[in-house]
């Protein structure tokens, strides 16, 4: 595919992106090839498929897949496509089965993807059908990280731990150090008329919008962020930071706000929970990471998995086209929390960031607006700005990756699109890695255009 027209879409040196990145159909097709067919994508959590034969159906980019627990307790994933004429094999979201049979012609497959039986096989195919070569198309790589199951089509891709890189240091402190995480499902699902990158970039590093977009919710006092209402008060110096890493993963941290967006009663209980666990974690993972555990972290694992730790929100942004995205939302709870607390967090997540959540709907208005305004002839020729804090990005001996010293900034935006650009401009992982050899210097030396 010709990539010439995409060359000027991302300006890493000056922290800018073309407004066309949300609209361009050719670019979207290139994303399917060079991002969703190349990167690690979230499939499910192990708690959703604990037993042999348990399965869920989901998407990897624009492809539907089946994710299934195997007899040996491993996990495999397959394209949800019959090998005969390409019909959908499994039409339900989740369940338990020992295999699947296609509704169209009855080809039947085992849990391991092997083709087991074909109607009238001997009479019609006369022993010329090689069932061993007609099993389901298996996803090249499937790995689990602290129970979060990811898949990758590209067998030349780095393994999942290498792909996470420095970002694993931040994930480990809430995925594993605190006792482990469960996702409460099934996920809530809805569609928004927005490009998948709009919410992904928002979660990777946008605290700037909180006091303005969510002012009415904040003024109700039902949040640990209430003081930010109306953008009247910025978090003080030292109240948080932003981090970006080599493969575009990033977080924003607001220190000491473990309870996130929950109501006052639940917030008080969660703050007490976080403070108590922080004291235990100081000896286990050190005071810096223990404090991060008790902080509110907004983040994105590139390209399309996002989370809010204090608010208990886990999301996946599934692309259905350049201007249509399916949103999957789970509540995220710690395994050792009391059942009643887990239930109340789950209800709170759906009330705030679920399909009709009041935080969610406010965010979706922004995502759809920034997507569709790029359709204008002149607007599509303009560049968007992600230069907040651009001259202050640095390395820090205490924090892996590149750090921006403010809770409100766009360090993570710039890192997200630097890696995005490396992928779009490269034909394979070898080229991606070559384009990332100097990634630290690219970000640290970035400056607004004079």
Residue with tokens 């929950």: 262
Q: Does the annotation mark 105 as catalytic?
A: yes
In the annotation, is 209 catalytic? Answer: yes
Q: Tell which residue, 366, 358, 357, 344, has the closest CA to residue 217.
A: 358
CA–centroid distance for 430 within its chain: 24
Q: Which of 54, 256, 363, 393 is catalytic?
A: 363
The C-alpha angle with vertex 292 and arms to 310 and 235, in degrees rounded to 5, equals 75
Distance CA 160, CA 170 (A): 15
What is the Cα–Cα distance from 49 to 404, expressed in whole angstroms? 38
Residue 147 in contact with residue 45, Cβ under 8 Å?
yes
Whether 206 sits among the annotated catalytic residues: the reply is yes
240 phi and psi angles, rounded to 5 deg: 180, -170
| 151, two tokens | 């898949």
Whether residue 137 lies in the annotated active site: no
Residues, the chain: 450
DSSP-assigned beta bridge partners for residue 96: 54
DSSP reduced 3-state for 285: helix
- Give me the catalytic one of 105, 156, 336, 438: 105
Return d(Cα 400, Cα 170) in angstroms, integer: 9
CB 150 within 8 A of CB 229: no
363 annotated active-site: yes
Angle at 210 between CA 249 and CA 448, to 5 degrees: 60
Q: 19, 24, 45, 206: which one is catalytic?
A: 206
**Of 146, 209, 263, 372, which residue is the catalytic one?**
209
Which listed residue (19, 45, 214, 247) is catalytic? 214
Enumerate the active-site residues. 105, 206, 209, 214, 363
């Amino acid at each position: 595919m010709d990539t010439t027209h995409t060359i000027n879409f991302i300006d890493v040196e000056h922290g800018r992106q073309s407004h066309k990145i949300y609209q361009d159909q050719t670019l979207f097709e290139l994303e399917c090839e060079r991002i969703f067919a190349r990167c690690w994508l979230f499939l499910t959590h192990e708690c959703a498929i604990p037993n042999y034969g348990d399965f869920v159906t989901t998407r990897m980019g624009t492809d539907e897949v089946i994710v299934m627990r195997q007899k040996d307790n491993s996990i495999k994933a397959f394209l949800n496509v019959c090998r005969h004429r390409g019909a959908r094999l499994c039409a339900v979201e989740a369940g338990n089965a020992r295999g699947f049979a296609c509704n169209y012609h009855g080809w039947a497959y085992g849990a391991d993807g092997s083709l087991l039986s074909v109607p009238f096989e001997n009479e019609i195919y006369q022993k010329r059908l090689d069932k061993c070569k007609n099993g389901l198309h298996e996803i090249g790589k499937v790995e689990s990280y602290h129970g979060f199951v990811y898949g990758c089509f590209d067998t030349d891709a780095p393994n999942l731990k290498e792909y996470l890189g420095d970002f694993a240091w931040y994930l480990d402190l809430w995925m594993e150090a605190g006792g482990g995480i469960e996702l409460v499902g099934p996920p809530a699902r809805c569609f928004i008329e927005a490009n998948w990158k709009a919410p992904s970039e928002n979660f990777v590093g946008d605290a700037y919008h909180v006091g303005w977009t969510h002012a009415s919710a904040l003024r109700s006092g039902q949040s640990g962020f209430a003081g930010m209402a109306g953008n009247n008060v910025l978090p003080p110096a030292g109240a948080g930071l932003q981090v970006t890493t080599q493969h575009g993963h990033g977080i924003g941290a607001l220190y000491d706000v473990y309870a996130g967006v929950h109501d006052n009663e639940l917030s008080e209980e969660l703050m007490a929970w976080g403070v108590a666990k922080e004291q235990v974690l100081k000896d286990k993972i050190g005071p810096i990471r223990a404090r991060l555990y008790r902080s509110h972290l907004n983040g994105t694992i590139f390209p399309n998995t996002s989370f809010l730790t204090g608010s208990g929100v886990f999301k996946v942004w599934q692309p259905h086209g350049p201007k249509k995205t399916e949103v999957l939302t789970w509540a995220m709870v710690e395994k050792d929390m009391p059942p009643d607390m887990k239930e109340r967090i789950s209800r709170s997540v759906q009330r705030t960031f679920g399909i009709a959540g009041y935080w969610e709907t406010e965010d979706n208005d922004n995502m759809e607006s920034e997507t569709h305004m790029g359709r204008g002839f002149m607007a599509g020729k303009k560049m968007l700005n992600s230069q907040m804090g651009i001259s202050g990005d640095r390395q820090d001996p205490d924090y892996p990756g590149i750090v921006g010293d403010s809770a409100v900034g766009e360090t993570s935006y710039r890192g997200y699109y630097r890696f995005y650009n490396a992928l779009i401009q490269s034909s394979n992982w070898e080229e991606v890695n070559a384009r990332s050899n100097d990634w630290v210097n690219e970000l640290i030396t970035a400056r607004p255009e004079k």
